[in-house]
């Protein structure tokens, strides 16, 4: 299998014609036909049915072409990143975080940052992971910085694990756990203790029903006088917000949510002592953050100071 063969197969599927694909690729029709036949022989499948009216993609062909397009997209992605003709100098910075809402602050940080060298480019990446995976990302150099949180009563967990993985940890701020519901939720006319009668939506990175929040926050049990009747667990945080905004389901968040035009939800902080959460950023020991990252940390501290602490 070669990239050229995959390009031919995908173009034939796009054009629904071998002759049109050959014309578009500036090659002979026989070259395209040979490439398709070689792929079919190599993988033992039939990608296209040849008929008098043209070609049809088989069921096996549909599956094969899905993978082929993915491979070609990755090839294109690599070529764009490392293309010397378009990027004179590329700096890379990866942030691994337990919460996706930092993506907004991440974007604002990038937007407002003044590059020290106007000729340079920076490739930023944000990865949303569990507590354990964030620490592993930083320790293994897959990320320059990580952001984690634990309930305040478990702060020693960060200290111990950071020490084991040769990481330094630095506090960003604190917040209370918040109950997130739509603004017209019927619980507003009932006792808050009755919230467990409604569906609880859990946003998770790994299936972890025992903790019902995050692997580092098993104290959420104490927030309920009885277990929720129904639980929906999803690794799609956007789906979680959609469900809460459109139904009577509820969610527990590590920080209050700001109202947006799309999601008209409200945050109700839990008053219990166990509901306090501490946030940290972690680095490899002896790693020096670039100035632009230091600015991001200051932005995050302002974020917690303004929105997260009650």
CA distance 148 to 216: 9
Note the pLDDT tens digit of each residue in 76-128.
877 776 664 454 555 678 888 887 666 677 777 777 765 555 545 667 788 88
| Residue pair 184/216 in contact by the 8 Å Cβ criterion | no
Q: Which residues lie below 8 Å from residue 109, measured CB to CB, with a gap of 6+?
A: 292, 295, 296, 299
Q: What is the mean pLDDT of the chain?
A: 78
Instruction: For residues 39-65, give the mean pLDDT.
Output: 86
Q: What is the CATH number of domain 178-269?
A: 3.40.190
Look up the CATH superfamily of 90-174+277-308. Periplasmic binding protein-like II (3.40.190.10)
- Better-scored residue on pLDDT, 132 or 218: 132
- As to burial, measured by CB atoms within 10 angstroms (0-12 exposed, 13-18 middle, 19+ buried), residue 260 is exposed
Q: What is the pLDDT of residues 146-185, one digit of tens each?
A: 998 887 777 888 888 888 899 999 988 888 788 888 888 9
CA distance 239 to 203: 9
Reduced to 3 states, what is the DSSP secondary structure of residue 129? coil
Is the pTM higher than 0.75? The answer reads no
CATH number of 3-81: 1.10.10.10
Q: Which residue ranges does the chain devote to CATH 1.10.10.10? A: 3-81
Whether the pLDDT of residue 308 is over 60: the answer is no
Taking residues 121-136, what's their average pLDDT? 81
**Which part of the chain has CATH 3.40.190.10?**
90-174+277-308
pLDDT surpasses 80 at 216? no
The partner residues of 280 in beta bridges, in order of sequence, read 148, 171
**228-246: pLDDT as tens digits:** 878 888 877 778 888 888 8
Q: What is the mean pLDDT of residues 127-132?
A: 83
CA nearest to 162, candidates 153, 174, 150, 151: 150
For residues 121 and 88, the answer to whether their CB atoms sit within 8 Å is yes
Identify the weakest region by mean pLDDT among 51-55, 104-108, 257-261, 274-278: 257-261
Mean pLDDT of 208-227: 54
């Amino acid at each position: 299998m070669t990239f050229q063969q995959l390009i031919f197969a995908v173009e034939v599927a796009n054009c629904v014609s071998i002759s049109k694909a050959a014309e578009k690729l500036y090659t002979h029709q026989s070259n395209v036909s040979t490439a398709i036949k070689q792929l079919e022989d190599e993988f033992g499948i039939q990608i296209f049915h040849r008929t008098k009216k043209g070609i049809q993609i088989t069921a096996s062909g549909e599956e094969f072409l899905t993978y082929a397009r993915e491979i070609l997209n990755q090839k294109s992605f690599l070529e764009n990143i490392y293309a010397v003709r378009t990027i004179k100098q590329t700096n890379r910075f990866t942030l691994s975080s337990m919460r996706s809402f930092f993506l907004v602050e991440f974007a604002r940080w990038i937007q407002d940052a003044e590059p020290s060298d106007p000729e340079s480019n920076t490739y930023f990446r944000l990865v949303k992971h569990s507590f354990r995976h964030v620490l592993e990302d930083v320790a293994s150099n897959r990320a320059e910085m990580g952001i984690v949180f634990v309930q305040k009563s478990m702060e020693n967990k960060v200290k111990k694990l950071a020490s084991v993985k040769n990481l330094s940890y630095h506090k960003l701020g604190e917040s209370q756990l918040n109950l997130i519901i739509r603004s017209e939720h019927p619980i507003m006319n009932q006792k808050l203790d009755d919230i467990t009668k409604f569906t609880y939506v859990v946003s998770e990175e790994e299936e972890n029903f025992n903790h019902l929040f995050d692997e580092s926050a098993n104290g959420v049990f104490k927030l309920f006088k009885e277990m929720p009747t129904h639980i929906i667990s999803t690794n799609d945080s956007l789906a979680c917000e959609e469900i809460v905004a459109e139904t009577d389901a509820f969610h527990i968040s590590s920080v209050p949510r700001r109202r947006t035009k799309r999601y008209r939800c409200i945050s109700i902080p839990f008053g219990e002592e166990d509901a306090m959460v501490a946030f940290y950023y972690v680095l490899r020991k002896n790693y020096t953050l670039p100035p632009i990252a230091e600015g991001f940390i200051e932005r995050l501290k302002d974020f917690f100071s303004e929105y997260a602490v009650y």
